[in-house]
Amino acid sequence: MRSLVLWEKIETTEAKAKAVKGLVDKLINAAKTPNTRRLVSQFLIDKKAQEKLIKDLSPRLGSRNCGYTSVIKLGKRLGDRAMMVEMRLLTEEPKAQVSKELVKKPTARGVKKEV
Question: pLDDT tens across 38-86, in order?
Answer: 888 888 899 999 999 988 988 888 888 888 999 999 999 999 999 999 9
Residue 111 lies in a domain: no
Task: Tell me the mean pLDDT in the region 24-51.
Answer: 88
Q: Which domain, by its residues, includes 84?
A: 2-89
Cα(44)–Cα(106) distance, integer angstroms = 56
SS3 100: coil
Question: Residue 18 maps to which CATH number?
Answer: 3.90.1030.10
Q: Considering the domain boundaries, does residue 16 fall inside one? A: yes
Is 110 part of a structural domain of the chain? no
Rounded-to-integer distance, Cα 54 and Cα 36, Å:
9
5: left (phi over 0), alpha (psi -120 to 50) or beta: alpha
SS3 state at 18:
helix
Flag whether 101 is in a domain.
no
- Predicted TM-score of the model (pTM): 0.70
* 77 within domain boundaries: yes
Domain assignment present for 82: yes
Side-by-side strand order, sheet with 69-76: 9-13, 83-89, 69-76
Q: Please answer whether residues 52 and 28 qualify as being in contact, where contact means their C-beta atoms are separated by less than 8 angstroms.
A: no
Number of independent structural domains in the chain: 1
